[in-house]
Structure 1
Amino acid sequence: MTAAPADLLIDRPAVSDGAALWRLAKDSKTLDLNSSYSYLLWCRDFAGTSVVARGADGEAVGFVTGYLRPDRPGTLLIWQVAVDAAHRGHGIAAALLDALTERLADEHGITDVETTITPGNTASERLFTSFAARHHARLTREVLFPTDLFPDGPHDPEVLYRIGPLNPSTSH
């Protein structure tokens, strides 16, 4: 498991974190920004499958949002990952991802992780490739949503990364 910097607390998000998660997503300049309302709902309805990193002042400096796939409850779909620009490069995203998957393996028996990444998002590509390697898990990629499926203008394709099964001896 990747260790976060000592002054960070990894926690479940609360509804009061919704605005901070929205700001982190907006400031990332790479994530598709959802409405502020959706981040509030996410922190209420999916707090159990999400995680936030808090700085010494208690403010959110990073997050991972996810949910268990209804048709595959052993699979965690990672929706978004964001870390504040001032805190990047310290392994926070990897520590959040490791902490979340460890918790959900214990609580729900997850064995697989999925996410989508647009081509050229090298930070996310590295994060999930290294996650798979760290957990000795198979990684496959395929286009899930091609460009022509998006109704709201030009959008890069979303490539599905499937990682699993996670090796229990390396995820604890």
Structure 2
Amino acid sequence: MNDSKDSLIFRKPSLEDGLAIYELIKNSPPLDVNSSYLYFLQASHFADTCIVVESQQKIVGFVSAYYRPDQPDSLFVWQVAVDESMRGVGLAKRMLMALVENQKGHATLKELCCTISPSNKASQGLFKSFSKQYGLSLTVAPFITEAHFGEQAHEAEELYVLKSDKQENLTNLIF
């Protein structure tokens, strides 16, 4: 997907994008920074469920996701990162749309889910707005408590689940 209007290129990542993705995540607090190796794996092994956005040959956006092994119709969005220069223009929502659009070949995409800490208002707003725009139900439930993290002093994570009340395939509902 190439949008010549604002020269953004939405595409699947490749192994060569791994380091740029890692740097984007490092510069996107409050996201947890994982090892660079993980981003190389996401950009290669999980490329079909990830999106990068380029502007002037620079990675300015990234969404990582995977299908849950215990629920193969549930796409878990792990991280959404937008470069500081691109925040506030709706890029995160456009990346989520592109991610869902790329799943058209997947037989059953019934829900989109993620975890968000209670203080991350930007991510909460993104998923609430996305669910409202597409008429999806949104449930929020406790998932990972602070106690699970032990002495890491990590905030709790709540599970957000977006799905159609009619159990429709999300790719059909949105596109």
**Could you tell me the TM-score, scaled by structure 2's length?**
0.90
Structure 2 distance, partners of 1:36, 1:88, is 23
Change (3 A) 1:138 1:60: same
Q: Which shows bigger deviation, 33-42 or 148-157?
A: 148-157
For residues 125-136 of structure 1, the aligned pairs below 5 Å read: 125-136=124-135
Structure 1 distance, partners of 2:143, 2:62, is 24
Amino acid at match of 1:119: P
Q: Residue 107 of structure 1 corresponds to which residue in structure 2?
A: 105
8 Å contact from structure 2 (residues 67, 76) kept in 1: yes
Q: Residue 83 of structure 1 corresponds to which residue in structure 2?
A: 82
Q: Matched residue pairs, number?
A: 168
Q: Residue 171 of structure 1 corresponds to which residue in structure 2?
A: 174
Structure 1 distance, partners of 2:47, 2:40, is 10
CA drift at 1:5:
6.1
8 Å contact from structure 1 (residues 4, 92) kept in 2: no
Extract unaligned runs of 5+ from structure 2: none
Q: Residue 30 of structure 1 corresponds to which residue in structure 2?
A: 30
Please state which structure has a larger fraction of its residues in strand.
2
Structure 1 distance, partners of 2:58, 2:151, is 33
3-state SS, counterpart of residue 152 of structure 2 = coil
Amino acid at match of 1:75: S
CA drift at 1:102:
2.0
8 Å contact from structure 1 (residues 13, 47) kept in 2: yes
CA drift at 1:103:
1.8
Structure 1 distance, partners of 2:71, 2:79, is 19
3-state SS, counterpart of residue 60 of structure 2 = strand
3-state SS, counterpart of residue 30 of structure 1 = coil
Structure 1 distance, partners of 2:62, 2:72, is 22
Amino acid at match of 1:25: I
Amino acid at match of 1:110: L
Structure 1 distance, partners of 2:29, 2:98, is 25
Change (3 A) 1:168 1:11: closer
Q: Residue 150 of structure 1 corresponds to which residue in structure 2?
A: 149
The list of structure 1 runs, each at least 4 consecutive aligned residues, that deviate by more than 3 angstroms after superposition, is 166-170
Q: Which shows bigger deviation, 143-152 or 79-88?
A: 143-152
Q: RCO (CA 8 Å, sep 6+): is it higher in 1 or 2?
A: 1
Amino acid at match of 2:116: I
8 Å contact from structure 2 (residues 138, 161) kept in 1: yes
Structure 2 distance, partners of 1:127, 1:170, is 18
Amino acid at match of 2:37: Y
